[in-house]
């Protein structure tokens, strides 16, 4: 067994890895198996909370079975394999199998069967075409939907009913050069149709080295993850990072967390996990929906890092999570923040591993109208707004904030966040114009609005989603915390956007919110609550509130809200079919 206390730092190993032209993700995975084939590698949690551990030998044998199966279907080294299956053990084995073949994996959210989720089917079809995939692995029930739209050279595969049997038959060892393409990842698609980010092994390994350093990850850690593998948080920040570092990782299915949020905290306790990840809404769901009787025997003292990332981080969400679960051992200093994007493999900024996350109160009007974050004293009632920092740059990464004219801005001034990073993408696949916009010399332009205070980065929104109402600017996420507090609305399921109104010379604010099925009869009361709370808390009137049926506001393949997509659906009238009647 390796020394359980050894810290995996950016030291001699990572420097040697950067010098080696043959270093690759596959090489690091093989190295972990050779170090101790009988050590715990990965665990899978079923819907009932049962945890099944797999050793490195078992993980490789399961993946080898899939590798043989994929190779027999025609997958070869360098081919693209699109995996659009649920994020479970079969998906993990297929992903590992594609890597063992030497193929380039590209994970896509599996299309669902509801009409409202047809967007995911379009994403799968267009992604497979653009990537010129050799293999597309899809759920059995969707193969007939995908087949008419596939490339002739893309072979559709569906998982056998009981999966693919493990195999101990040896495979040729494939270790691609570090400059070879190692994986691809979809962007979130919040501001348009998802693009395909291309990562070389060099960039992926730089990301893993940087994250290990930023998190002070060691072989003593255990990581628990419920985010999907088709999201870079699940794929890179958990699956790749842990397996390539020899850190045991526990994988739960996202749908099981949504149905039973207590599975997350019980799993952390039972596996003695020390690190875990979730978007902000996961902290809200856990705080509101987990019952006390579901937490009997749960202790969270060993968790040193609850990482909040992937969407706007709300101070109330962190504070409420701490207050609710502090009796179980949650410590304030264990609450962490992070920023990342698909264009930069893995996380880019992290809060201090040994300290508190950072937040500050700034003047709301000055922030939104002038783009200046001026710290103020007093509470939110005095016109201040809390902004949570997303951390400091990981080792090897530098950050800067630029104006729309390309001028580098001083601390406290809002502009587009840019990264100088060794883990950035090569580019968007077959989209040269978009690549040139994103990669400006040494800088990766993220499209995110932020400001810097010292070394701390503060995220405030997406550049292309800003709403301007009578001179005041808002980000859609400004409305999120307000809607969280209204019973009867589906948690986190909303869209907010501005509609240009030439008559008034400004934008009209439109809020679209999903209503729980049980609360549909009270739609008119919910509408009035939304108007009242938005007016009282943000000082702006919602020109129109649209309430829609449960399941309407589907998210992106990475779980983010599609404000621009539903903006267009509002304009073309396609939302009307899902609108709830308000009654008398």
pLDDT tens digits in sequence order for the chain, 584 residues long: 333 343 333 333 334 344 477 899 999 999 999 999 999 999 999 999 999 999 999 999 999 999 999 999 999 999 999 999 999 999 999 999 999 999 999 999 888 644 334 667 888 889 999 999 999 999 887 777 777 777 789 999 998 888 999 999 999 999 999 999 999 999 876 545 789 999 999 999 999 999 999 999 999 999 999 999 999 999 999 999 999 999 999 999 999 999 999 999 999 999 999 999 999 989 989 999 999 999 999 999 999 999 999 888 999 999 999 999 999 999 999 999 999 999 999 999 999 999 999 999 999 889 988 999 999 987 666 789 999 999 999 999 999 999 999 999 999 999 999 999 999 999 999 999 999 999 998 999 999 999 999 999 999 988 777 787 766 677 788 888 888 889 999 887 888 888 877 666 668 899 999 999 888 888 889 999 999 898 888 878 889 999 999 888 766 554 556 676 788 888 888 888 889 988 64
Do 485 and 552 fall into the same domain? yes
Neighbour-count burial of 569, counting CB atoms closer than 10 A to its CB (0-12 exposed, 13-18 middle, 19+ buried): buried
How do strand 359-363 and strand 344-350 relate by DSSP bridges? unpaired
Question: In this structure, is residue 148 part of a structural domain?
Answer: no
Write down the pLDDT at residue 189. Answer: 64
Do 493 and 458 fall into the same domain? no
Do 433 and 489 fall into the same domain? no
CA 234/CA 108 separation, integer angstroms? 12
Question: In this structure, is residue 107 part of a structural domain?
Answer: no
Domain CATH for 474: 3.30.300.30
Question: In this structure, is residue 440 part of a structural domain?
Answer: yes
| Last residue in a domain, options 438, 464, 490 | 464
Which residues make Cβ contacts (< 8 Å) with residue 194, sequence separation at least 6? Answer: 123, 127, 186, 187, 188, 556, 557
Domain CATH for 397: 2.30.38.10
| Last residue in a domain, options 446, 464, 482 | 464
**418 in Cβ contact with 446 (< 8 Å):** yes
Do 459 and 483 fall into the same domain? no
Do 422 and 506 fall into the same domain? no
Do 405 and 490 fall into the same domain? no
Question: In this structure, is residue 429 part of a structural domain?
Answer: yes
Question: In this structure, is residue 460 part of a structural domain?
Answer: yes
Write down the pLDDT at residue 381. Answer: 62
Domain assignment of residue 520, given as a range? 467-578
Give the helix/strand (H/E) hosting 52: strand 51-55
Token pair, residue 220, equals 């003593």
Write down the pLDDT at residue 12. Answer: 34
Do 459 and 498 fall into the same domain? no
Number of domains the chain contains: 2
Question: In this structure, is residue 74 part of a structural domain?
Answer: no
Taking alpha carbons only, the member of 234, 294, 307 closest to residue 267 is 294
Write down the pLDDT at residue 393. Answer: 98
Question: In this structure, is residue 308 part of a structural domain?
Answer: no
Do 457 and 404 fall into the same domain? yes
| Last residue in a domain, options 435, 464, 493 | 464
CA 342/CA 301 separation, integer angstroms? 32
Do 442 and 523 fall into the same domain? no
Write down the pLDDT at residue 149. Answer: 72
Do 455 and 374 fall into the same domain? yes
Do 573 and 473 fall into the same domain? yes
Question: In this structure, is residue 498 part of a structural domain?
Answer: yes
Write down the pLDDT at residue 535. Answer: 85
Do 496 and 459 fall into the same domain? no
């Amino acid at each position: 067994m390796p020394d359980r206390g050894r810290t995996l730092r950016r030291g001699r190993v990572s420097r040697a890895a950067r010098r080696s032209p043959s270093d690759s993700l596959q090489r690091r995975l093989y190295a972990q198996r050779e170090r101790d084939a009988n050590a715990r590698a990965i665990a899978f949690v079923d819907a009932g909370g049962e945890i099944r551990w797999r050793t490195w030998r078992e993980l490789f044998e399961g993946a080898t079975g899939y590798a043989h199966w994929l190779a027999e279907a025609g997958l070869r080294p360098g081919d693209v394999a699109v995996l659009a299956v649920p994020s479970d053990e079969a998906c993990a084995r297929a992903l590992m199998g594609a890597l063992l073949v030497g193929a380039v994996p590209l994970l896509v959210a599996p299309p669902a069967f509801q009409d409202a989720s047809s967007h995911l089917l379009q994403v799968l079809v267009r992604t497979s075409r653009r990537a010129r995939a050799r293999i597309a692995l899809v759920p059995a029930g969707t193969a007939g939907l995908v087949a008419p739209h596939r490339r002739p050279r893309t072979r559709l595969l569906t998982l056998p009913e009981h999966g693919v049997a493990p195999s101990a038959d040896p495979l040729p060892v494939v270790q691609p050069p570090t400059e070879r393409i190692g994986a691809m990842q979809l962007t979130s698609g919040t501001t348009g149709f998802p693009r395909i980010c291309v990562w070389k092994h060099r960039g992926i390994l730089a990301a893993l080295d940087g994250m290990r350093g930023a998190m002070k990850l060691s072989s003593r850690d255990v990581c628990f993850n419920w985010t999907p593998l088709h999201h870079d948080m699940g794929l890179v920040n958990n699956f790749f990072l842990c397996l390539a570092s020899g850190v045991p990782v526990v994988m739960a299915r996202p749908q099981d967390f949504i149905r039973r949020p207590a599975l997350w905290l019980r799993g952390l306790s039972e596996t003695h996990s020390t690190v875990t990840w979730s978007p902000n809404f996961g902290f809200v769901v856990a705080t509101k929906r987990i019952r006390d009787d579901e937490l009997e025997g749960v202790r969270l003292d060993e968790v040193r890092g609850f990482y909040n990332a992937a969407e706007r981080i709300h101070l109330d969400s962190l504070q409420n999570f701490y207050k609710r679960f502090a009796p179980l051992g949650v410590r304030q200093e264990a609450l962490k923040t992070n920023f990342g994007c698909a264009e930069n493999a893995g996380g880019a900024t992290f809060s201090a591993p040994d300290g508190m996350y950072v937040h500050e109160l700034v003047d709301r009007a000055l922030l939104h109208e002038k783009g200046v974050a001026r710290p103020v004293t007093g509470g939110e009632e005095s016109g201040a707004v809390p902004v949570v920092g997303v951390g400091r740059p990981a080792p090897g990464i530098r950050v800067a904030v630029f104006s729309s004219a390309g001028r580098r801005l001083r601390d406290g001034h809002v502009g587009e966040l840019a990264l100088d990073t060794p883990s950035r993408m090569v580019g968007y696949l077959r989209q040269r114009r978009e690549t040139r916009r994103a990669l400006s010399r040494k800088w990766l332009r993220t499209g995110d609005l932020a400001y810097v205070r010292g070394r701390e980065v503060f995220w405030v929104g997406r550049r292309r989603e800003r709403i301007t109402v009578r001179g005041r600017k808002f980000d859609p996420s400004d409305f999120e915390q307000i809607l969280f507090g209204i019973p009867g609305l589906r948690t986190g399921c909303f869209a907010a956007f501005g509609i240009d109104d030439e008559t008034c010379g400004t934008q009209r604010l439109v809020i679209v919110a999903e209503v729980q099925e049980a609360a549909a009869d009270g739609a008119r009361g919910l509408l009035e609550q939304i108007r009242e709370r938005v007016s009282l808390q943000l000082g702006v009137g919602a020109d129109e509130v649209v309430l829609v049926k449960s399941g309407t506001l589907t998210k992106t393949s990475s779980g983010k809200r599609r404000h621009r997509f539903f903006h267009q659906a509002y304009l073309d009238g396609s939302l009307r079919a899902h609108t709830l009647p308000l009654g008398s």
